[in-house]
Amino acid sequence: MLLIHCPHCGTRPELEFSYGGEAHIARPADPSQVSDDDWASYLYLRSNTKGVHAERWRHVRGCGRFFNALRDTTTDRILVTYKAGEKPPGEAR
Amino acid sequence: MSESNTAPRTPGWLSVANPASRFVLQGELPALAAAASALGFESDVGTNEARDNGQFALLWLGPDERLILAWQEGARQLAPRIANALAGHAHSLVDVTHRQVSRCVRGEGITELLNCGCPQDLDITQFAVDRCSRTLYNKAEIVLWRRGPNEFHVEIWRSYADYFERWLIEAAQDLPVSTL
Amino acid sequence: MSAWRLPSGGHIDRSRPLRFTFDGRSYTGYAGDTLASALLANGVHLLGRSFKYHRPRGIMTAGPEEPCALVTVRRDEARCTPNLRATQVELHEGLCAYSQNRWPSLAFDVGQIAEWFSALLPAGFYYKTFMWPRSAWHKLYEPLIRRTAGLGKAPKLADPDRYAQQYAHCDVLIVGAGPAGLAAAQEAAARGARVILCDERAHSGGSLLADDRARIDGQTSAEWVDGTMAQLRANPRVRVLQRTTAFGYFPHNLMGLSERLTDHLAAPPPGLARERLWQVRAREVILATGAIEQPLVFPGNDRPGIMLGGAALHYLKHHAVLPGRRVVVATACDSAYRVARALQAAGAQIVQFIDLRPQTDRPALAALRELGIRCDGDLRIVGTRGSNRVTGVDIARIDATGAAREQRSIDCDLVLMSGGYVPSVHLFSQSRGRLRYDETLQVFVPGESAERERSAGACRGIAGLADALQDGARAGAAAASAALGTADASAANPAFTVDAAAPTPEPLDVPRASVAMHGPKAFVDFQHDVTLRDLDLAVREGFRSIEHIKRYTTTGMATDQGKTSNLNALHHAARELGQAVPAVGLTTFRMPYTPVTFASFAGQARGELFDPVRRTPMHDWAVQHGAVFEDVGLWKRARYFPRDNEDMHAAVARECRAVREHCGIFDASTLGKIAVVGPDAVEFMNRMYVNEWSKLAVGRSKYGVLLRDDGFVYDDGVVARVAADRFHVTTTTGGAARVLAMMEDYRQTEWADLKVWLTSTTEEWAVIALQGPRARDILAPLVDGLDISAAALPHMGVVEGTLQGVPMLLFRVSFTGELGFEVNVPAAEGAKVIAALHAAGERFGLTPYGTETMHVLRAEKGFIIIGQDTDGTVTPDDVGLAWAIGKSKRDFVGKRALARPSMQQSDRKQLVGLRTRDPHIVLEEGAQIVDTPGQRAPMTLIGHVTSSYASATLGHSIAMAVIAGGRARMGHTLYVPMPGGEIPVEVCSPVFYDPQGARLNV
Ligand SMILES: [Zn+2]
């Protein structure tokens, strides 16, 4: 069970969180302008990173907020967490 | 199929602590501050903080979400009172009086008992008096509010209350709680 | 006093004799004994039969590393625990233990025949010997292997005991209460840290338990341990857990601990939990897990009466047991010298002391000789004798050609072996820390940590008591400082005045593999019966990776995790492969360190506490009226209300007729409800749902359809606009949580600019459905003057009011096709209101109905159930809901995906109705459908049945199905192939009843 730092509440056990998949995949502003292939990529294509992975979590059993984390998928170490809508901190990359 | 719906006998350290009404208030910070002031608080509560002025309790649930407990009857006027204060502020005020029930758990050893199902660090140095948090008690979501070194107020959705109580009573067989 | 028990000394209570049985024979031990020490005190060495060859096995160790002495301990039929290590089982009055894996008796075991056929059971025998003929595997080989190989048997009854679980947090968790762990705890606690100290034994002290000569700061080791423990116990910030095994090191410094609470008690207090599973989150962890002595590899090294030197010393010093009187000691390192002296001093005769290393002129050898002990260097044990206990050994000098010289036989009743102490790095390795090979010690020691963790003492190769104490103290100070964020603890350098030599890792001055003696039955892994020859075979057959060798030979696997075998196996494999040990590498240590019971993991989550059981506010009302319940998610829902001796079929038929002819009353409280509130609520709804919401007037509701962005139907429900900025959204019972989660996701992350907020109100409202032609007649008198006529409250109208003074949100909706209302009242009033409605409706024939009837009624109307008629691959059009889509909307969740060509093909599976040619046949839900009769497998399947019922109203069965191009097949005959033959069905509209909806608008 990981320890996850919620950018709103602080560090809490993983049990309070739900995983939300890869981060920074924005829904196209006007989907009707997007090609079928691009829409398919938006829906289904994910990076499956080995190493530092930007991913979404939600503190669902806490403050309820979605946020992002940079997690090393090989060690489970979470380098940094940041609020939804923010850019990943550059130095952690 | 017969249903056994009778919880074990209620121990002394467990009691009902229902307020007269409950509301979930959501909105941006100015709205939340205006509501706090309308309820008689000097300011909005901080992260994971709960405050009680005798008439109302204001609990931080999330950055834009508060739980309001009104202790006294007559709180029907509460909604208009807050709505007045919030005029001009976008917000959501939803009556959840019946959605959940409140329990008071109080006694020497209560922290350990809660830690049978709550994965947070409840040591008083980490979870001080008047700290509150939405969290888990095993598979039930609860809102935990520490009211004293050995006393917690628990908010729980009504259909989960039986599970929560049963678990506490079951666990108390191994972690005796001395009623204060 | 038994023959093998010393008259004084040890940590046993001679005033408390305990009777116990082993294989039905009675023995006596003392409080403070383990089953192993008590049996040894009674001269019992034969404890079981080995896994594969059924060889007699005894007690090899004195701790959790025991690979041989596995027993079953039984309190009664249900409390019968197999595969316990006798070295860890604490003795209590009346303890009842059994040997395992033997038939008909331990001393004479038929299965030992397996040994005579051992040529058939080499490494990899699973993969080779029994592979042909194929048909024989299930009938012959597998049952045979299962009977002969294996260990104890699990009890067949349910576990009657209680098990507890606990979360705990601390600044510093210390695993192991040996000298390093105790010193660490003392130092960390002194710095104000919250400390948890756990140790798997009943007594703290670790290696000090076997050391009565050590002096620490002028105290005996026992005094020092007791004093330190008393100090720790008196500190409220310190928790000491004894009989507690740290079995697993999980990410981010979470440690799993298994505490045994009652197994050591003769009569456990009723109701007390038997075990407690701790999940400890520590800021800093100190591993002080000590070192494990390794056996020597030589032919016949597994006979009962052959044990580790340190184990013998432990039995002698801690339990005052002399495990033998005529003793042969064989060693590859220095610690055994002390063991020999201690045993000699206790009255045993060391008949031969062998140092396997080449030097014959060691001063230590000479010193032993002065005690009258015959001792030699550069000798080997080349064989052992004795059937159920060792009776002698053959020793020889091995010359350069490998030939045995000067061979002689020695009679003895105990053989002690010492292959040196190996750091116990199991937990460190579990934590993903990197192991480092120490060339001097020829062992792996902890290298770079992966967690906030440090090892201290023998488990990181620190030798000697003084160094271990100091290392522990330093670790304790550093961990406390790191956890508390206080000043660096480098100043901490407590001095211990020590006079002792603890059993610790020590340099081996010969290659570890070189002391192994080849020959038959030279065991490396005692638990899995793996010999040197098996390892040789694996290498010969081409296995190069240690991971493959491990799996092929099974060495170091399963519950043992190679505590006494990994290192010998690795060194031997490295030598055979001609590689350096670090190049070959070590296999991964798996959790648990020692086995943990399943019950411990289940904890309190059994029976009523396995999952929350959610009951609606009207649950008791349903019970009173004889409801049969079904589980829907976590909810208990009334399924039907049988009267007299009705079965479900009869009850449902009656309930259906009652609704169609009079009125039914139904508890719909479990429906999910979400308040969508804010100035942008309507915009949010427009984006989330397929429907157009802008034009929905306050006081009106509409059937909403929710898709995922892949275009597939996700949920549905009636949505009411209760104010300009407020929607009351209902979801399916099962969808309540996931719909709210999905909405929150879009709200927070895609459309964070929208001023709208979501609140679950599922449990705020009790919902009572009144459905049937008399619904209005029943309801109208109760609603305190509210006009609910068809004109004032038309179909899909919503109005606020009161019902006998209770605040109410009233929906005019129907999921049955009849005139219907859904009465929403505050949950706390639900029981009262349903009773009032029920009483008022009785003279109209009001009948309670359950979910089964609800399903039939909606199917008669062709209404779908999400998750039953949909499966995550259907579009709105597939299930006939295209009409719900707001055509003029620029975007909504799922819209773009619906525009993909594949979503519009005419051969997509579409929802249709099916009628069986024989009206009495009720199709099976899930049954497949074909379009021509007489097909043979593999058939061309064109769809499947999603819903199927007997309709009492219509007098025939009805079914819904999704069928490729279904709507173009109206009137066609299709076939449902079943084991009993094909069932012809006709495709029809899914709306079987009142297709014009005349019954609704009344
Ligand atoms: Zn949070």
Indicate the residue among C464, C499, C534 that finishes a domain. C499
Number of Cβ within a 10 Å radius of residue C408? 10
Q: Over 50: is that where the pLDDT of A92 sits?
A: no
**Strand boundaries in C419-546, DSSP class E:** 421-423, 435-438, 443-446, 453-455, 498-499, 523-525, 530-531
Neighboring chain A residues of C252 at a CB cutoff of 8 Å: 1-3, 76
What is the whole-number distance in angstroms between the Cα of residue C731 and the centre of ligand 1? 26
Q: Over 80: is that where the pLDDT of C501 sits?
A: no
CB contact under 8 A, B96 and C761: yes
Order across the sheet with C219-220: list the strands.
C219-220, C215-216, C498-499
Name the residue with tokens 């080349």: C382
Are both C60 and C194 inside the same structural domain? no
Q: Is the pTM of this model over 0.90?
A: yes
Are both C186 and C118 inside the same structural domain? no
List, for residues B45-104, the tens digit of each pLDDT value.
999 999 999 999 999 999 999 999 999 876 567 778 888 899 899 999 999 999 999 999
Alpha-carbon gap, residue B168 to B114, rounded angstroms: 7
CB contact under 8 A, C169 and B3: no
Domain count, chain C: 4
Sorting pLDDT into bands at 50, 70 and 90, what band is C508?
Answer: confident
Question: Would you say residue B87 lies in a domain?
Answer: yes
Indicate the residue among B78, B95, B112 that finishes a domain. B95
Q: Over 60: is that where the pLDDT of C130 sits?
A: no
What CATH architecture applies to the domain A1-21+49-93? Answer: 2-Layer Sandwich (3.30)
Q: Are C408 and C429 in contact (CB under 8 A)?
A: no
Indicate the residue among C499, C515, C540 that finishes a domain. C499
Q: Over 70: is that where the pLDDT of C149 sits?
A: no
Q: Over 70: is that where the pLDDT of C725 sits?
A: yes
Q: What is the mean pLDDT of chain C?
A: 93
Q: Name the residue among B93, B94, B158 with its Cβ closest to that of C763.
A: B158
Question: Is residue B92 less than 8 Å (CB to CB) from chain C?
Answer: yes
What is the whole-number distance in angstroms between the Cα of residue A59 and the centre of ligand 1? 5
Residue C799 belongs to a domain with what CATH number?
Answer: 3.30.1360.120
Question: Is residue B6 less than 8 Å (CB to CB) from chain C?
Answer: no
Query: Could you tell me the residue ranges of all domains in chain A?
Result: 1-21+49-93
Are both C693 and C817 inside the same structural domain? yes
Range of the domain at C241: 164-291+423-499
List, for residues B150-165, the tens digit of each pLDDT value.
999 999 999 999 999 9
Give the model's pLDDT for residue B5.
Answer: 46
Question: Is residue C281 less than 8 Å (CB to CB) from chain A?
Answer: yes
Compare all CA atoms of chain A with the CA of B133 and give the residue at the minimum distance. A62
Q: Name the residue among A2, A18, A31 with its Cβ closest to that of C896.
A: A31
Q: Name the residue among B96, B160, B163 with its Cβ closest to that of C759.
A: B96
Indicate the residue among C481, C499, C517 that finishes a domain. C499
Alpha-carbon torsion, ordered C511, C516, C518, C522, to 10 deg: -150
Question: Would you say residue B109 lies in a domain?
Answer: yes
Alpha-carbon torsion, ordered B9, B13, B18, B24, to 10 deg: -120
Query: Is C924 exposed, middle or buried (CB count within 10 Å of its CB: 0-12, 13-18, 19+)?
Result: middle
Give the model's pLDDT for residue C489.
Answer: 56
Question: Would you say residue B156 lies in a domain?
Answer: yes
Give the model's pLDDT for residue C138.
Answer: 65
Sorting pLDDT into bands at 50, 70 and 90, what band is C772?
Answer: very high
CB contact under 8 A, A13 and C281: yes
Alpha-carbon gap, residue C402 to B164, rounded angstroms: 71
Give the model's pLDDT for residue B4.
Answer: 42
Ramachandran bin of C38, using left for φ above 0, alpha for ψ from -120 to 50, beta for the remaining angles: alpha
Are both B75 and B117 inside the same structural domain? no
Q: Are C238 and A62 in contact (CB under 8 A)?
A: no
Give the model's pLDDT for residue B73.
Answer: 72
Question: Would you say residue B55 lies in a domain?
Answer: yes
Domain count, chain B: 2
Q: Are C967 and C926 in contact (CB under 8 A)?
A: no
Alpha-carbon gap, residue B150 to C248, rounded angstroms: 32
Range of the domain at B166: 99-172
Question: Would you say residue C549 lies in a domain?
Answer: no
Sorting pLDDT into bands at 50, 70 and 90, what band is C133?
Answer: low
Question: Would you say residue B1 lies in a domain?
Answer: no
Residue B122 belongs to a domain with what CATH number?
Answer: 3.30.1360.120
Name the residue with tokens 């003279």: C843
**Strand boundaries in C60-183, DSSP class E:** 70-74, 80-85, 95-98, 163-175
Give the model's pLDDT for residue C486.
Answer: 87
Give the model's pLDDT for residue C118.
Answer: 63
Q: Over 70: is that where the pLDDT of C492 sits?
A: no
Residue B28 belongs to a domain with what CATH number?
Answer: 3.30.70.1520
Sorting pLDDT into bands at 50, 70 and 90, what band is B120?
Answer: very high
Residue of C647, C397, C661, C419 whose CA lies nearest to C524: C419
Indicate the residue among B74, B95, B116 that finishes a domain. B95
Alpha-carbon gap, residue C936 to C916, rounded angstroms: 22
Query: Is C499 exposed, middle or buried (CB count within 10 Å of its CB: 0-12, 13-18, 19+)?
Result: exposed
Half-sphere exposure of B159 (CA within 13 A, CB side): 23
Compare all CA atoms of chain C with the CA of B96 and give the residue at the minimum distance. C764
Residue C984 belongs to a domain with what CATH number?
Answer: 2.40.30.110
Are both B90 and B107 inside the same structural domain? no
Are both B36 and B52 inside the same structural domain? yes
Residue of C370, C327, C365 whose CA lies nearest to C346: C327
Give the model's pLDDT for residue C660.
Answer: 98
Comparison of pLDDT for C105 and C123, the residue scoring more: C105
Are both C813 and C691 inside the same structural domain? yes
Compare all CA atoms of chain A with the CA of C903 and give the residue at the minimum distance. A36
Are both C103 and C172 inside the same structural domain? no
Are both B37 and B91 inside the same structural domain? yes
Comparison of pLDDT for A61 and C2, the residue scoring more: A61
Q: Backbone phi, then psi, for C287, in 5-degree steps?
A: -95, 115
CA distance readout (Å), C837 to C667, C804, C842, C874: 12, 10, 9, 39
Q: Are C188 and C240 in contact (CB under 8 A)?
A: no
Are both B91 and B118 inside the same structural domain? no
Give the model's pLDDT for residue B36.
Answer: 96
Q: Over 90: is that where the pLDDT of A32 sits?
A: yes
- Partners of B98 in the β-ladder: none
ipTM score: 0.97
Question: Would you say residue B6 lies in a domain?
Answer: no
Rounded CA Rg of chain C: 38
Indicate the residue among B76, B95, B114 that finishes a domain. B95
Question: Would you say residue C467 lies in a domain?
Answer: yes
- For C:422-441, CB contacts with A below 8 A are 432
